[in-house]
Amino acid sequence: MSDAHGNLAALEAALADARTFCPDLIAHVGDMVNGPSSAGVMDYLSAEGIGGVLGNHEEYVLRCEEPDAPPLWKTDRFAPAQWTRRSLTSEHLATLGTWPITRRVHPDVVLVHGTTRSLREDFRAETPDRTVQALYEDLDAGVVAVGHTHLALVRKIAGKLYVNVGSTGITLDDDPRASYGLLTCRRGVWEAVIRRVPYSTTPVLVAARNDGWLSEGGGVAAAMVHEMLTGTNWTTPFLLWWGRTCPKSSSIDAYRTFARMRQIEPLI
């Protein structure tokens, strides 16, 4: 599983579905935090004994208040990460700091959020096979499972299986159902199936409104909630529009205008 982004309701639904297959192992491929219920997601995964690897949003949360953090990370464009850091305990942050970039969960299977070079590097449907191979040539494994794009994808190249498991918390393919990957080995051959699981988004909106995510995370946090509710890409288009059209506007003012342009009632 990957990219829960503090969406506890989606994660619980995905895990309930996964357990019907009696899996040998469940792991998370990064970006479990930076969302309305980040502390709840961390506590839930810890209670279930589920570990994983570092994602770029864990990096944002861990470093956004550090003196050497990129200046952009200290602006209101990163208000959700700043709020998430404040919402987590010192124990949560210490745990995040121990997560590795890669994790071998089986002799044949390695997890990495992006690539070993960058947590923000990825492969997509349009990425050529040779490029995919080059991105992961340093990983000696028959199966490479990744996240980051929030777009599920299974591709076999030269006998090696590359799987983007999608996102449990924020899908971006216009289908709001939670996504995760089911990996199975039969007679030495690995197969991957992408599972989609419906869940109620009501708890997401309740948590976002009651716990400070919307009021303190501002327009970017609201855009992320729209993605959780609809499965439609909001954050990237909003950030691009905001930066090009009204960069001096507050995140909330820019978001309200952007939402109305999309003919949606603003959440804040």
For 233-239, which contacts have Cβ atoms below 8 Å and span 24 or more sequence positions? 233/172, 239/77
Run of H or E residues at 41:
helix 38-47
CA gap 47, 147 in Å, rounded: 23
Domains of the chain: 8-197 (3.60.21.10), 211-261 (no CATH)
Run of H or E residues at 179:
strand 178-186
CA–centroid distance for 226 within its chain: 15
Note down pLDDT in tens along the chain; length 268 residues: 999 999 999 999 999 999 999 999 999 999 999 999 999 999 999 999 999 999 999 999 999 999 999 999 999 999 999 999 999 999 999 999 999 999 999 999 999 999 999 999 999 999 999 999 999 999 999 999 999 999 999 999 999 999 999 999 999 999 999 999 999 999 999 999 999 999 999 999 999 999 899 999 999 999 999 999 999 999 999 999 999 999 999 999 999 999 999 999 999 9
pTM above threshold 0.85: yes
pLDDT at 203: 96
Q: Which residues pair with 178 in a beta bridge?
A: 197
CA gap 14, 20 in Å, rounded: 10
Angle between the N-to-C axes of helices 235-245 and 213-230, in degrees from 0 to 180, rounded to the nearest 10: 120
Conformational region of residue 96, where left means phi above 0, alpha means psi within -120 to 50, and beta covers everything else? alpha
Residue type, 26: I
Angstrom distances, CA of residue 243 to CA of 60, 204, 246:
20, 27, 6
